Copies of this chain bind each other. A is one copy, B any other.
Amino acid sequence: MAKLLIRDLAQIVSPAGTDAPLRGVADMSALYTQENGYVLCEGGRVSAVGGMDDLRQLDGDVLELNGRGLSAVPGLVDCHTHACFAGDRVDEFSRRAAGATYEELHAAGGGILSTVEATRAAGEDGLAQALARHCAWMLRAGTTTFEAKSGYGLDHDTELAQLRVVRQGGGIPTWLGAHAVPPEFPDADAYLDFALSDVLPEAAQLAEAADVFLERGAFDATQARRYLEACRAAGLELRLHADQFTEAGGIPLAIELGARSVDHLEATGHEGVRALAGSDVAAVLLPAAALFLGRSMPPGRALLEAGAIVALATDFNPGSAFCESVPIAMTLACTQLGLGPAAALAACTVNAAHVVGRADRLGRVSPGYIADLVLLDAPDWRHLAYHFGGDIISVVVKEGEVAWMR
């Protein structure tokens, strides 16, 4: 593999230091910045970063990329997506836009179960094709690492197919076996009996983590505990969808079980913020979902100031956030959550890498880290958040190779 030298970059920016995860306003807002610099990639990793003045003659095969006028930031890590789905929910979106309630949408055949139906019908090949299309969108938006959950199968074959497809598509699979109760089961407990006995053993071989939707109408705290404890015993890391619509005990449960993250938090109050700040459970904020559903935003600034591990992701899914763009999540973080651009960048790079267990190698532009970078055609890297929906990504580098170029 040839070396890749990206030279004459106007700006190279990365979360500062070597700690992971980052917490608090000062650490999350600190940046390593190099003006007029270069990044050298070898064997898929960054081998050197510095100023052009310090660049020495390189031996061997070197591919050069001219970075003049461009800013470089770490490849974006989307640590919460449901990218492996079939179909869309544009009808539901349109009905909601015109004022239909959640209950009315459900009655009209909308909601998670409509995507379950489409996903089951797609077959593994169909799902792989859909994911490939979604992956191309994500890459083009600067995402070089993505997590994706199952949870649109809710039967043995489709749940495992989703996990295989995500893994084969280069994603990090999470078993969201407890996303909703499928119609063929009388209640959540009966479904969990099935999921834990018939799906978990194989899911645990494919997924890195397990996730549960702890919410009124999905799974309650007792059911979530049962599911998560069984998944932990099978060797999976734990994550939770919690406090999206109501505070239902997700935060204390996540802390007690040592979960990697608790995600959503739109309904979280002071107590929850304080509890998370005193724990090692990351708070994954999903502002595009709050926006899509027209709900209040999660308490981003309070979590940041209290010292919680704040991460940021898209929640890309066909129902509540048809948005694969981490840069748009950054704009929303800056305009709705009270995160400055630097904290927003840390939240979707190094802290998101922590949520998926890869903060030792992803989320920074730094020697030894995997050479994932996004090059921006903008006079200042902060345009990534400031230019709302702007088409400013010029090049995406993944593992030291150009993966997308305008």
Binding site for B on A (CB under 8 A): 29, 88, 90, 93-94, 97-99, 137, 140-141, 288, 291-294, 301, 321-325, 327-328, 333-336, 338-344, 379-380, 382-383, 385-391
Q: Which of B325, B341, B388 sits near A292, CB closer than 8 Å?
A: B388
* B341, A386: Cβ atoms closer than 8 Å: no
Closest to A334 in B: B97
Closest to A337 in B: B97
With contact pairs A90-B383, A334-B93 given, residues A288 and B388 touching in the complex (Cβ less than 8 Å): yes
How far apart sit A167 and B215, CA to CA, in the bound complex (Å)?
A: 55
How far apart sit A169 and B248, CA to CA, in the bound complex (Å)?
A: 56
* B97, A137: Cβ atoms closer than 8 Å: no
How far apart sit A325 and B294, CA to CA, in the bound complex (Å)?
A: 20
* B93, A323: Cβ atoms closer than 8 Å: no
* B328, A389: Cβ atoms closer than 8 Å: yes
Residues of chain B lying within 8 A (CB to CB) of residue A97: 333-335, 338-341, 344, 385
How far apart sit A338 and B380, CA to CA, in the bound complex (Å)?
A: 35
- Which 6 residue pairs are nearest across A and B when measured between Cβ atoms? A97-B334, A323-B388, A98-B340, A325-B389, A328-B389, A93-B386
Residues of chain B lying within 8 A (CB to CB) of residue A339: 97-98
With contact pairs A93-B386, A322-B388, A323-B388 given, residues A292 and B338 touching in the complex (Cβ less than 8 Å): no
Closest to A305 in B: B99
* B382, A93: Cβ atoms closer than 8 Å: yes
A339 nearest CB across to chain B (Å)? 6
* A137, B390: Cβ atoms closer than 8 Å: yes
A-B contact pairs, 12 of them (CB 8 A): A88-B383, A90-B386, A93-B334, A93-B386, A97-B334, A98-B338, A98-B340, A137-B390, A291-B335, A292-B335, A322-B387, A323-B389
Copies in the assembly, this chain: 2
A354 nearest CB across to chain B (Å)? 22
Residues of chain B lying within 8 A (CB to CB) of residue A382: 90, 93-94
Residues of chain B lying within 8 A (CB to CB) of residue A389: 141, 323-325, 327-328, 389
Residues of chain B lying within 8 A (CB to CB) of residue A324: 389-390
Residues of chain B lying within 8 A (CB to CB) of residue A325: 388-390
How far apart sit A339 and B93, CA to CA, in the bound complex (Å)?
A: 11
How far apart sit A343 and B380, CA to CA, in the bound complex (Å)?
A: 37
Closest to A301 in B: B99
Residues of chain B lying within 8 A (CB to CB) of residue A388: 288, 291-292, 321-323, 325, 328
How far apart sit A291 and B328, CA to CA, in the bound complex (Å)?
A: 12
Residues of chain B lying within 8 A (CB to CB) of residue A88: 379-380, 383, 386
* B335, A94: Cβ atoms closer than 8 Å: no
How far apart sit A387 and B323, CA to CA, in the bound complex (Å)?
A: 6
Closest to A25 in B: B98
Q: Which of B327, B379, B386 sits near A322, CB closer than 8 Å?
A: B386
Residues of chain B lying within 8 A (CB to CB) of residue A383: 88, 90
How far apart sit A324 and B392, CA to CA, in the bound complex (Å)?
A: 12
A261 nearest CB across to chain B (Å)? 23
How far apart sit A391 and B141, CA to CA, in the bound complex (Å)?
A: 9
A228 nearest CB across to chain B (Å)? 31
* A94, B341: Cβ atoms closer than 8 Å: yes
Q: Max chain B CB contacts within 10 Å: which of A140, A323, A339, A343?
A: A323
